[in-house]
Amino acid sequence: MTARTLIADLAAHDAGPVKVQGWVETVRDQKRVQFVILRDESGSAQLVNPVNDDTAETAASISALMHGSFVTVEGELKHDERVKLGGLEVKIASLVVETTALDSPIDAETGIDKRLDHRMLDLRRPEAQLIFRVQTAIEHAFRTRWIDEGFIEIHTPKLMASASESRAELFEVPYFETTAYLAQSPQFFKQMAQGAGFGKIFEIAPAFRADPSFTSRHATEFTSVDAELSWIDSHEDVMAHHEALLTDAITAVVERYGDQIRDAFGIELQVPTLPFPRISHAAAKQIVEARGHTIERADGDLDPEAERRVSAHVAETMGHDFVFVTDYPDTVRPFYHMRHGEGLTSSYDLLYKGTEIATGAQREHRVEVLEDQARSKGMDPEELSSYLDFFRYGVPPHGGFGMGLARVVMLMLGLPSIRETTYLFRGPTRLEP
């Protein structure tokens, strides 16, 4: 039995018998010859079938082929520089239709909502598959650094007995005789690993936010990239790890897919220099005001337009796509962020090309301080007892970050929405497919 050859491997394959399998992109059915463009997960190739009495049965099958039908083809590989598609073609000896297909309800002009209705078909686009190959390279680079540096991968529960921060954006789930909540983040669980003596941990996993937003960067279910480190001196240690991690990932993507990204998305992806710029929250507000924007949020947190203007300032003055905005006021940070000075926290947001992709901080590890900070946020420490109790047995100084994977990929590739960079998007009005 002839082994399957991926289309991307045909160029290195000797002329002669081959078997290729994939789906039909186009058929050109001419009087004396038929051409089929076949695509698989690695690329596309031209198949040719001369029409004569000996090939009549195959010719009939090809004439009936619909776009998207999956076929198995055995034939003779020929290298020919005149063939525009890869400089090769396969002369069909046999063609087996594995599954037929209906006419596709979407095309290159179809809008995002209808494409999401037919996501399986949408994902057949080469640029769509490139998105997820880039995502794979990013995650592999993350894991490589983490494993090389002795991190432990954990898998935290997504069902929680109590609210992690507030119930405002939590999904409630009936759970036998009680109510559970879908986790907004693995925050408490990854801190627990510090008390367990794990030292350094990471997780790439789903998180859930009951947020009725319809923006290009929000989802009700998303993939969160999280890390937590023990024995840090400040949030600067977390930022240093975070920027090294992202630099590794972008380096891997540029080396493996830089040319394809340029061709598909018109993006000349550059590896960022280290260290990333750092700007305090107070200085960021001054930059925003100087650039003509007034932040109207009562707590002073940066709004999306402010983020864009801070990033524009950094790009213009420092030539960098990333910037850490540090030392946020405690009014806009959760109770477990360590505080310093007058109402400031040892925390940061990381902006990438004008959009926030991550929040990080040094955590408060002293239980009595945690209780006071929870009360200052109007929270009842009793409701946080399962979280607070493990601090009573000793937890080292630690910190970490949480980062949205789909946002990183969206901004890296210059795409308009995380709907493009999420395999199956979930939002306030979308639960299918």
Residue 299 sits in a domain whose CATH number is 3.30.930.10
Residue type, 407: R
Task: Label residue 139 by pLDDT band (50, 70, 90).
Answer: very high
Q: Is 432 part of any known ligand binding site?
A: no
**Residue 422, annotated ligand binder?**
no
Confidence at residue 386, expressed as pLDDT on a 0 to 100 scale: 84
Is there a binding annotation on residue 404? yes
301 versus 241: the higher-pLDDT residue is: 241
**How do residues 2-55 score in pLDDT, each as one tens digit?**
899 999 999 999 999 999 999 999 999 998 999 999 999 999 999 999 999 999
- Cα angle, residue 350 at apex, residues 344 and 351 outer, rounded to 5°: 120
Q: What is the residue whose two structure tokens read 């929000």?
A: 218
User: Is residue 112 assigned to a domain?
Assistant: no
Q: Do 142 and 250 fall within a single domain?
A: yes
Is 354 a domain residue?
yes
Q: Which of 68, 99, 130 is the last residue of a domain?
A: 99
Residue 298 has pLDDT above 80, yes or no: no
Mean pLDDT of the chain: 95
User: Is there a single domain that holds both residue 238 and residue 385?
Assistant: yes
Stretch 123-138: mean pLDDT, rounded?
A: 97
pLDDT at 428 over 70: yes
Whether 51 is in a domain gets the answer: yes
* pLDDT attached to residue 168: 65
pLDDT(169) > 90: no
Range of the domain at 218: 119-421
Beta-carbon neighbour count of residue 213 at 10 Å?
13
Verify that 60 and 135 share a domain, yes or no: no
The reported pLDDT for the residue numbered 108 is: 86
Asked if 155 and 58 sit in the same domain, the reply is: no
Q: Which amino acid is at 413?
A: L
Query: Are 143 and 21 contained in the same domain?
Result: no
Domain-embedded: residue 107: no
Task: Please say whether the beta carbons of 362 and 399 come within 8 A.
Answer: yes
Q: How far is CA 239 from CA 32, 75, 242, 289, 381, in A?
A: 65, 55, 5, 26, 30
User: Helical H runs in 98-206?
Assistant: 112-117, 119-122, 126-148, 187-195
Assess if residue 70 is contained within a domain.
yes
Q: What is the pLDDT of residue 342?
A: 86
Q: Of 33, 65, 99, which residue constitutes the final position of a domain?
A: 99
Q: Is 413 annotated as a binding residue?
A: no
Domain count within the chain: 2
Q: Which residue has the higher pLDDT, 51 or 169?
A: 51
* Residue 239 domain-assigned (yes or no): yes
Any binding-site annotation on 406? yes
Which CATH number characterizes residue 47's domain?
Answer: 2.40.50.140
35 and 123 in one domain? no
Integer Cα distance of 294 and 162 in angstroms: 37
Domain identity same for 92 and 199: no
Specify if 229 maps to a domain.
yes
What's the Cα-to-Cα distance from 372 to each of 51, 344, 364, 397, rounded to whole Å? Answer: 83, 15, 11, 18
- Contacts of residue 97, Cβ cutoff 8 Å, sequence gap at least 6: 61, 65, 69, 70, 71
165 pLDDT band, cuts 50/70/90, is low
Q: Where are the alpha helices (DSSP H) in 223-234?
A: none
Rg (the chain; Cα; Å): 27
Name residues whose C-beta falls within 8 Å of residue 167's C-beta, 6 or more positions apart in sequence: 181
Using DSSP, state whether 162 is helix, strand or coil: coil
Q: How large is the average pLDDT for residues 258-283? A: 97
Q: How confident is the model at residue 391 (pLDDT cuts 50, 70, 90)?
A: very high
Report pLDDT digits (tens) over 49-105. Answer: 999 999 999 999 999 999 999 999 999 999 999 999 999 999 999 999 999 999 999
Residue-wise pLDDT tens digits, 227-267: 999 999 999 999 999 999 999 999 999 999 999 999 999 99
| CA angle, residues 243, 247, 250, in degrees to nearest 5 | 140
Does the pLDDT of residue 166 top 70, yes or no? Answer: no
Helix, coil or strand: residue 104: coil
Torsion of CA 48, 50, 56, 59, to 10 degrees: 30
Q: What is the pLDDT of residue 164?
A: 57
Would you say residue 108 lies in a domain? no
Q: Are residues 388 and 252 in the same domain?
A: yes
